[in-house]
Structure 1
Amino acid sequence: MKKVLKLSGLLIILSVVVIIYVNYPKLDFITGFASKSVCSCTFLDGRTLESIESQDNDFSPINLATNTVDLKNKSVTSTVFGLKARTAVYKEGLGCILIPEGSDHTTLTVKPNRTKTSKNLIFPYGDLQQKDTVFSNIDYTVLNKAVENAFDVNNEKLKRSRAVLVVYKDQIIAEKYADGFNKDTKILGWSMTKSITSAIVGILEKQGRVNKNQSHLFTEWENDKRAHITLNNLLQMNSGLEWEEDYNNISDVTKMLFLKEDMPKIPREKPIVGTPNKSWSYSSGTTNLISGFIRNQFKTEQDYLDFWYTELIDKIGMHSMTIETDFKGHFVGSSYGWATARDWSKFGLLYLHNGQWNGEQILTKDWIDYSKSPTPTSDGIYGAQFWLNAGKRYPDVPKDLFSCNGYQGQQVSIIPSKDVVIVRFGLVEDPLFSYNDFLSKILAAIN
């Protein structure tokens, strides 16, 4: 018996050693992702550690992390078998920030000013409940079945939807949440945040402060071919800059998001390996470069932080939204936007209405048209930080659909021909969750 116990103990030790050996190069990524995820879900949305670990962080190798929440100091520290401790700290207005080893997070004192005014109007323009409206051209049985079908039953983990919201002619016609989530739950949009970043550039261009066709974007690029890269090239992810977008391994994107304190710096230092306007390649680094470019348009960090909220986010009533920053105060425009499903739908409605919000032109119609125009060499699937259906990515959905998409299947779909915005949040994406089926079944209910 003792021999069996010894052998079992040795096998356990050997297994741990093997796990550490295989994953050691990834430990910074694992503990960085884990601490950041737990911190944001805890302090931005008030969720429990148990729910975060069993849902958001339940996949390999992130589930190797042990997470400790410090409620008093609003921080989370994660390790793997006691190794590679990483800490994320919550800062009011800035969200959760991964703290570089040896850095003093108490220096992070600047936060955006928010204007959260209650308006005596119904959704989407105010806080009042909508009046019940029944549209004669909608088959509600078909609609409700399509929405219901997007969710798991019997505790399965297959479709893993968390929220579905359908807005037709500015009216919420369907809304459903998974257990533990509701209309007030803030959910991470991941790369949907890229579309927010694009809108900020559109507002700056409307104000005459930038031009999407301008080049010579960074002083570091002045002495080489990168000087000729335009803002348009960055917005369309067609700059020709070297970039590796791989979330399963140590790559440019994982280094940027989970290892670096200055996120625009990594893509800014990348060489040009393709031809601008002829080398489409999806890149979160490109979007954070744009965030860095936007920062350079303002004299102070305070002005930069305030602009995103005063000119867009709070102006259209997305008061639940927080866009998190890196340690240097740049908005992580590629990935870290949090808001409720209803507030995310407001952003979609702004684009559905050609940039107009309750009588005010926030973005020009030209900018909306530009955002949904296919990028050269993207095969009709990408515009200016928006995904498109022009190339019939979803064969059973209208070609005019354009959308904000995020990791694990977050999506705000805008379909002008149907006057519809459809929001879905989840933890799996195509092909495990078929967006073609999901969208086409909902649209089939609208005649």
Structure 2
Amino acid sequence: MKTFKRILLILFVILAVAVYFNFPKLNFISGYAAKNMASTVFLTERGAQSVELNDNDVPLINLADVETDGESASASVFGLMERKAVCHEGLGCTLINENYDPNFEIPVPVRAEPKSDLFFPYGDKEAKDTVFTHIDYDRLQKAIDWAFSDNEEKKTRTVLVAYKNHIVGEKYLEGFTKDTPILGWSMTKSVLATLYGILEYQGKIDLDQAVLLDGWEKDERKNITLNHLLRMQSGLAWEEDYTSISDVTRMLFMDADMTKAQGEKEAIAAPTEIWNYSSGTSNLLSGILRKRFKTHQEYINFPYEALIDKIGMSSMLIETDMKGNFVGSSYAWATTRDWAKFGLLYLNKGNWNGEQLFDSSWVDYVSTPTLHSDGTYGGHFWLNANGKYPDVPRDLYSANGYQGQRVFIIPSKDLVVVRTGLAEEPDFDINLFLKNILASFQ
């Protein structure tokens, strides 16, 4: 009996220690589960059961119990640390905290009507049946099919291949169609950066001008420029760790105003001395963008007026935080075809059906390697300059998001490839995927 009691005591102590060290994580777990459920059901009209069995089937996140009514979702872990996300038309869903004021109104973006009478990519009309003689379409289809094979591991949802502004290959997992919005996660960063390219082309910003947030003028942070932020080389402290309560998880799942976290960090190096990937930096840029407009409505309208609706990405929506700031690090949704339009805008060097949205030199800017990134990062885009994908041209650059969301742009091949899903490397072999696609072009 004494031995049994000792075993129980040891087990109790182990459990108590586990709870003590992991209890703070419940905020993150239930917050992620509630936000992901609310947004996916509200914006894609997919069923809650599908979201629970797939999107929220992530280690630790799958411990949460989630309930949704289609316009909000609540989650808790064993009844502890309940979190809620609420949804609003035109703005998506927001994870709220104890400071949430339901009477605080965020302006709804004014959207332009899509030009549905034009062919893809300039409208939503079905693409013309164009056949390129140098494409082996059977081989291309096999390359696309490969992405969906062994899908318990690869977890691919959608693939689209566009060549010279034409869709030459496309496939969707059952339950997904060309009209299903997909969360881009950190692909949102590339969308945010593009807004700065547009402002630069309009002569409204200078990337080399110091940012000078309140308090920065007193220390070495006074030298940080927009260029440093866009290249993730500001020298500001930041911990991008999604497995613990870190800077990024506190920001995404606890902060009411996500634009502040990075700006409040100390400098641990001078600008350009280090490269440090930071979602906080992207949301800081979202906050800096907001300050450029006289009204909140102008800020909310800008991404849609200047970029999103301008190129017919009518499905795209960027969600906001509790204070009405765009979550530029993580929360843009769009159909696979609209994500492809974004890539094609870059393939066409900023020119969209005869209208120049950003200078062609902006493409060179975002695709030029940033110092200390080992050739993997440019200006809020990822690069292949170091040959990470050995069987793919070095000029490839891409918008990358969590779980393998990708918009690949390969200028030398006139190609844009979009792949979305729930798994990334090593479970999904990007190099082999792209190698197979490229092999179909003679």
Same fold (TM over 0.5): yes
Partner of 1:5: none
CA drift at 1:187: 0.5
Task: Name which of structure 1's ranges 185-194 and 15-24 shifts more when overlaid on structure 2.
Answer: 15-24
Bigger shift: residues 101-110 or 324-333: 101-110
2:330 equivalent to 1:330: no
2:256 pairs, out of 258, 261, 280, with 261
Note if 1:129 corresponds to 2:118. Answer: no
Cα 1:82/1:446, change in 2 over 3 Å: same
Corresponding position: 1:107 with 2:93: no
Counterpart residue number, 1:117: 114
State, as a whole percentage, how many aligned pairs show the same letter: 55
Q: Match of 1:44?
A: 43
Number of the residue aligned with 2:224? 229
Q: Following superposition of structure 1 onto structure 2, how do residues 76-115 of structure 1 map, counting pairs within 5 Å?
A: 76-115=73-112
* Matched-pair contact (CA < 8 Å) for 2:286–2:325: yes
The residue matched to 1:85 in structure 2 has which SS?
Answer: strand
Equivalence for 2:182: 187
Distance of aligned partners of 1:181 and 1:123 in 2 relative to their CA distance in 1, 3 Å threshold: same
- Displacement after TM superposition at 1:70 (Å): 2.3
Partner of 2:4 in structure 1? none
Equivalent residue for 1:3? Answer: none
From the superposition, tell whether residues 117 and 179 of structure 1 become closer, same or farther in structure 2 (CA, over 3 Å): closer
Deviation, 1:34, is: 0.5
Deviations 1:413-438 (A, max 9, x none): 00011000000001111111111111
Is the 2:384–2:397 contact (alpha carbons within 8 Å) kept by the matching residues of 1?
yes
| Residues 217 and 231 in structure 1, CA contact (< 8 A), matched pair in contact too | no
For the residues of structure 1 that align with 2:211 and 2:184, how far apart are their CA atoms? 31
The match for 2:298 is: 303
Give the distance between the partners of 1:358 and 1:403, measured in 2 at CA: 22
Which position in structure 2 is the counterpart of 1:6?
none
State yes or no: 1:438 paired with 2:433: yes
1:21 CA displacement: 4.9
Q: 2:143 aligns with which of 119, 140, 146?
A: 146
The answer (yes or no) to whether the contact 2:256–2:323 under 8 Å persists in 1 is yes
Q: CA deviation at 1:40?
A: 0.4
Work out which of the residue numbers 199, 207, 229 in structure 2 matches 1:212. Answer: 207
Deviations 1:177-224 (A, max 9, x none): 111111001000000000001000111111121111110331231111
Q: Which residue of 1 aligns with 2:52?
A: 53
CA distance in 2, matches of 1:123, 1:395: 32
Alignment check: 8 A CA contact 1:217 1:293 kept:
no
Q: Tell me: CA distance 1:109–1:223, structure 2 relative to 1, closer, same or farther (3 Å).
A: same
Q: Does 1:399 align with 2:398?
A: no
* Structure 2 CA distance for aligned equivalents of residues 216 and 189 of structure 1: 28
Deviation of 1:25 after TM superposition, in Å, equals 1.7
Cα pair 1:397 1:440 within 8 Å, conserved: yes
| Contact kept? 2:110, 2:301, Cα under 8 Å | yes
**Counterpart for residue 6 of structure 2:** none
Deviations, residues 234-275 of structure 1 (Å, cap 9, x unaligned): 000011100000111111001110110110111010000022
Of 371, 378, 390 in structure 1, the residue corresponding to residue 373 of structure 2 is: 378
Aligned-partner Cα distance in 2 for 1:234–1:150: 35
Deviation at 1:14, TM superposition (A): 10
Higher alpha-carbon deviation: 278-287 or 110-119: 110-119
In 2, the alpha carbon distance for the partners of 1:439 and 1:62 equals: 31
Q: Is the 8 A contact 2:195 2:303 kept in 1?
A: yes
CA contact (8 A) 1:216 1:222 kept: no
Per the TM alignment, residue 131 of structure 1 is displaced from its structure 2 partner at its CA by 2.0
Q: Cα 1:42–1:195, aligned 2, differ >3 Å: closer, same or farther?
A: same
Counterpart in the other structure of 1:314? 309
Q: Distance in 2 between matches of 1:62 and 1:166?
A: 32
Match of 1:285 in 2: 280
**Is 1:242 aligned to residue 237 of structure 2?**
yes
* In 1: Cα distance, 2:14 partner to 2:113 partner: 53
Q: Partner amino acid for 2:322?
A: F
CA RMSD of aligned residues (A): 1.8
| Partners of 2:44 and 2:14 in 1: CA distance | 36
How many Å separate the matches in 2 of 1:439 and 1:329?
Answer: 38
Give the CA deviation at 1:141: 1.7
Which amino acid in 2 is paired with 1:125?
Y
Distance (whole Å) between structure 1 residues aligned to residue 219 and residue 13 of structure 2: 52
Deviates more, 1:119-128 or 1:52-61: 119-128
- Give, in whole Å, the separation in 2 of the partners of 1:189 and 1:199: 15
User: Structure 1 counterpart of 2:23, which letter?
Assistant: Y
Q: Which runs of 4+ in 1 moved over 6 A?
A: 12-19
Question: Does 2:271 match 1:276?
Answer: yes
Cα distance change of structure 1 residues 375 and 18 upon mapping to structure 2, 3 Å threshold: same
1:99 CA drift (Å) = 1.1
The residue that corresponds to 2:337 in the other structure is 342
The worse-fitting range, judged by mean Cα deviation, of 414-423 and 138-147 is 138-147
What letter is aligned with 1:179?
Answer: E
Give the corresponding residue for 2:25: 26
* Distance in 1 (alpha carbons) for counterparts of 2:14 and 2:34: 24
Are 1:366 and 2:361 counterparts? yes
Shift of 1:20: 4.6
Contact 2:114 2:123 in 1 (8 A): no
Q: Distance in 1 between matches of 2:135 and 2:82?
A: 53
Structure 1 residue 17: Cα displacement? 7.1
Partner Cα separation in structure 2 for residue 388 and residue 307 of structure 1: 27
Structure 1 unaligned spans of 5+: 1-9
Does the 8 A contact of 1:144 with 1:174 survive in 2?
Answer: yes
Partner Cα distance (2:231, 2:106) in 1: 34
Q: 1:424 aligns with which of 419, 422, 426?
A: 419
Return the alpha-carbon distance in structure 2 between the equivalents of residues 413 and 322 of structure 1.
21
**Against the structure 1 CA distance between its residues 102 and 229, is the aligned structure 2 distance closer, same or farther, given a 3 Å change threshold?**
closer
- Counterpart secondary structure, 1:108: coil
Tell me the TM-score normalised to structure 2 length. 0.95
Q: Say how many residue pairs are matched.
A: 434
Indicate which of 151, 155, 173 corresponds to 1:178.
173
Normalising by structure 1, what TM-score?
A: 0.94
Cα gap change, 1:276 to 1:248, in 2 (>3 Å): same
Paired amino acid for 2:140: L
